[in-house]
Amino acid sequence: MPASETPLVLLHRDGRLATLEINRPEARNALSFPALLQLRECLAELREDSSVWAVVLTGAGDKAFCAGADLKERRSMSEGEVKEFVRNIRATMDDIAGLPQPTIAAMNGHAFGGGCEMALSCDLRLLASHAMIGLTETSLGIIPGAGGCVRLPRLVGAAKAKHLILTAKRCSAEEAKSMGLVHEIADAADFATATSTMVQSLLANGPLALRAAKAAIDGSLDMTMDQALEHEASCYQRIIPTADRLEALAAFGAKRKPNFQGK
C-alpha cells in the first residue's frame, strides 16, 4: 500500500494488547476486498507474536462496528469475483477464530452480516447499548457465508439461530445479551472503560494458560468426551514446565499478584 494511502485496518499496540480497528467510518466500516486483505495481513502478524497476550477488534467512529460486506463494491463484481470475495471473508473469520490469543469484539456500533460473523469469531463480545446486531443476509437474498450459519447455532442453539437467520432479525443489545450472543453491554459514554475492564480481566491471567485454555475448548468441540478429555490433558501438559506456573505458585505462597512473563 502506498505511504500516502490511509490504512483500511489500523493495528494499535499498547503493551501486551493489540487492537485491530477497521478504518472505514465513512462506509460504516464495511469490509471491502482491500480491507479484508489488510486485515488478514495483520492477523497473520499477530498470530506469530508471543508478546501480544490479547487482541481487540473494533471499528472506527461510533456508528458501526462493521456493516458486513461492502455492497457497493459487490455490485461491480462478476460472479467469479463474488466467489473469491466470499472465500476470503470466510478465511478472514477463520483467521480471527484461529488466533492463539484470546480475542474481544468491542462492538462500538451496529454489527450486521459479516460484522456479526466477525464478532462470532471472537472469544468475548462487548456491544454498545445503543447498537444492534444480527445476521441479515437472507434479506439480501444470500446466506451468512463467513461462518454465521455454523458459529451462531453453536453459540445460542439451533432453534434460536434459525429464528435469527431466517427472519434476518436485528437484535437490540439487551436481546443479544439475554440470549448469550454478547457477554456484556455498555453505554457509549462508558464503552472505552468497559472494554478496558474486559481486557484487564484477561491480561491479569497467565498468557500461556489463556492460550492453552482456548486451545482446549476450541479443539474439543467436535470430539467425543474421551477424546476431549485427552485433548484437555495435552493442553495442560504445555503449561507444566513453564516459568509462569512456578511464578504463580510462588506468588500464591507470598500472598502477592503473580508477575507473568509469558515464559
* Binned average pLDDT, 10 residues per bin, the chain of 263 residues: 76 97 94 94 96 97 88 84 88 96 97 96 97 96 94 96 97 97 96 97 96 96 96 96 95 94 93
Cβ atoms of 105 and 118 within 8 Å: the answer is: yes
C-alpha cell at 71: 455492497
DSSP symbols for the chain: --TTSPPSEEEEEETTEEEEEE--GGGTT-B-HHHHHHHHHHHHHHHT-TT--EEEEEESSSSEEE--B-HHHHTT--HHHHHHHHHHHHHHHHHHHT-SS-EEEEE-SEEETHHHHHHHTSSEEEEETT-EEE--GGGGTS--TTTHHHHHHHHH-HHHHHHHHHTT--EEHHHHHHTTS-SEEE-GGGHHHHHHHHHHHHHTS-HHHHHHHHHHHHHHTTS-HHHHHHHHHHHHHHHTT-HHHHHHHHHHHHTS-------
Catalytic annotation, pick one of 64, 67, 117, 186: 117
Q: Are 89 and 146 in contact (CB under 8 A)?
A: yes
- Is 69 labeled as catalytic in the residue annotation? yes
Q: Among this protein's residues, is 113 annotated catalytic? A: no
For residue 167, what are the CA distances in angstroms to 111, 138, 150, 181, 262? 16, 7, 17, 16, 45
Q: Considering 21, 134, 137, 209, which one is annotated as catalytic? A: 137
Is residue 21 part of the annotated active site? The answer reads no
pTM of the model: 0.93
Q: Which of 27, 30, 54, 69 is catalytic?
A: 69
Please report the pLDDT score of residue 1 as a whole number. Answer: 52
Between CA 48 and CA 38 the distance in angstroms is 16
Quick one: pLDDT at residue 2? Answer: 55
* 69: β partners: 31
Rounded Cα distance, 127 and 187, in Å: 9
The active-site residue, picked from 114, 115, 148, 206, is 114
pLDDT of residue 76: 85
* Domains of the chain from N-terminus onward: 9-203 (3.90.226.10), 207-254 (1.10.12.10)
Q: Which residues lie below 8 Å from residue 234, measured CB to CB, with a gap of 6+?
A: none
Sign of the CA dihedral running 123, 128, 130, 131? negative
